[in-house]
């Protein structure tokens, strides 16, 4: 009986694999791993802190807005009362006031005092009256009702205030209803822009 194994054939080896073929997990440096995890945790912490700071600022802004603008609906109703008081006072001209007896004059003085106190209370709560007579028309604060041909007033200026407006904080509570001049002389800004265009041509 002959041996079937050739001279070069080797018996299967039970020796372990060389160290370089070991799993990559074992080859990792624990210090590098700890540093990487530390960097990841630091990044997560910084992101969380930034998000919390943004949330804090947003909450502060929302609370401030709620304080300032939370009374907007109530304020709109109150300024209507102020309008009615003003109309009542405007109904009597100076001549009628002079002819009125003492009791009527006392009543008018009381209405004027009440109107002043009402406007003070509104201002105390951040609500200001807009009376733009003579100012340049600003669509952010004024609402044009009609145009008035008046050559003595620069075009685009408020010549009549139909109804005063009000602002609350930085926002318009109600725009002022106004009449705007038409056909007057150009303002200095308009004139300079027109001359600039002509010189460019």
Q: pLDDT tens for residues 119-164?
A: 999 999 889 999 899 899 999 999 999 998 888 888 899 999 999 9
Of residues 98 and 166, more confidently modeled: 166
pLDDT band of 185, cuts 50, 70, 90: low
pLDDT (0 to 100) of residue 49: 92
Instruction: Give the start-to-end residue ranges of the domains of the chain.
Output: 25-69, 128-193
CATH architecture label of 128-193: Roll (2.30)
Quote the mean pLDDT of the chain: 80
Whether pLDDT at 184 is above 80: no
**SS3 annotation, 15-36:** CCCCHHHCCHHHHCCHHHHHHH
Residue 12 or residue 152, greater confidence: 152
Residues 118-156, buried b or exposed e (16+ Cβ, 10 A)? bbeebeeebbebbebeeeebeeebbebeeebebeebbbb
Report the predicted TM-score, pTM, of the whole model to 2 decimal places. 0.60
């Amino acid at each position: 009986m002959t041996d079937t194994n050739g001279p070069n054939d080797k018996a299967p080896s039970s020796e372990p694999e060389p160290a370089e073929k070991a799993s990559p997990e074992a080859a990792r440096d624990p210090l590098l791993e700890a540093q990487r995890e530390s960097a990841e945790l630091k990044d997560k912490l910084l992101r969380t802190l930034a998000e919390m700071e943004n949330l804090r600022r947003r909450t502060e802004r929302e609370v401030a807005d709620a304080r300032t603008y939370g009374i907007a609906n109530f304020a709109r109703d109150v300024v209507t009362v102020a309008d009615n008081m003003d109309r009542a006072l405007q109904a009597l001209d100076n001549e009628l006031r002079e002819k009125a007896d003492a009791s009527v004059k006392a009543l008018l003085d009381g209405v004027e005092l009440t109107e002043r106190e009402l406007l003070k209370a509104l201002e105390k709560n951040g609500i200001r009256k807009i009376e733009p007579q003579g100012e340049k028309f600003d669509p952010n604060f004024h609402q044009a009702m009609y145009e008035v041909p008046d050559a003595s007033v620069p075009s685009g200026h408020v010549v009549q205030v139909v109804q005063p407006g009000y602002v609350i904080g930085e926002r318009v509570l109600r725009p002022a209803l106004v009449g705007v001049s038409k056909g007057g002389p150009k303002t200095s800004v308009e004139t300079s822009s027109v001359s600039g265009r002509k010189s460019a041509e």
